[in-house]
Amino acid sequence: MSIQKQFIYPLVLCGMFAGTTGCTRVKKRKEWPVNRDAGIASVTLIRHNFMDSVAAGDELTPEQIKRSTIIDSMYRKEDVAFRGDTVYKAFGDCSIALLDYNDKKNCTYKFLLVYKGPRRNTDYTIVQTDCDEDLSADFSRTGFQLLSDSSFSTREDFYKKLPEDSVQVTATIRTFVINKEGLIEPVKTETEKKPVEKREE
């Protein structure tokens, strides 16, 4: 069963350079509304049916992330926030889950996780980063598209800052497949350098 093609949000990756000064404009990331009661009420449900909780958009605690995912422990801190986003049925007994992550500092992320069966998380990758954007530095925007029930692609537009408020944009499109073991494999990379253009304020 194929998944209908759709773009899943524009993504932003900040240019982070030590000593950067002279910021002309900063785009602030959006804060999530926090519903503490909903987060507490969802604990039991998440432990028994994590995928339903993700699909419902529930808040997820670091302990629940530890129980039901293989996301690295560096993200499972007490001062961060996880929230479910979407679940897609993939091929065979595989499913795709999207989770939102807020570091409560200056960035949010979106994780794409692959599951075999209802509980076993076999692989994951970060497909979205949205940070406070310093327009005086390089940065990139990325989006991803589900191509089928076993493949997806990402497009990263890297904006290289040039003199006189100009930028050089390089687009990189990467295609991935989900194999029968539930692992994400890169299969193709294409790069295109676009003409120099004026940076939009």
> What is the DSSP annotation of 70-112?
---GGG--TT-EEEEEEEEE-STTEEEEEEEEE-SSSEEEEEE
Q: Would you state the structure tokens that stand for residue 132, as one six-digit string?
A: 């406070």
CA 93 remoteness from chain centre: 23
Residues 6+ apart with CB under 8 A from 110: 8, 9, 11, 85, 98, 99, 100, 101, 126, 127, 128, 129
Confidence of residue 140 (pLDDT cuts 50, 70, 90): confident
pTM for this structure?
A: 0.71
* Predicted pLDDT at 76: 85
What's the whole-number mean pLDDT along residues 167-171?
90
Identity of the highest mean pLDDT range in 10-14, 53-57, 153-157: 53-57
Closest listed residue to residue 152, CA positions, set 65, 101, 86:
86
Highest mean predicted confidence (pLDDT) among 14-18, 34-38, 73-77, 179-183: 179-183
- C-alpha distances in angstroms, 40 versus 55, 68, 76, 87, 102? 17, 17, 17, 21, 18
What's residue 136's pLDDT? 75
Give the whole-angstrom CA distance, residue 34 versus residue 57: 12
Average pLDDT over residues 107-120: 90
DSSP state of 42: T
DSSP label of 43: H
Rounded mean pLDDT, 115-138: 85
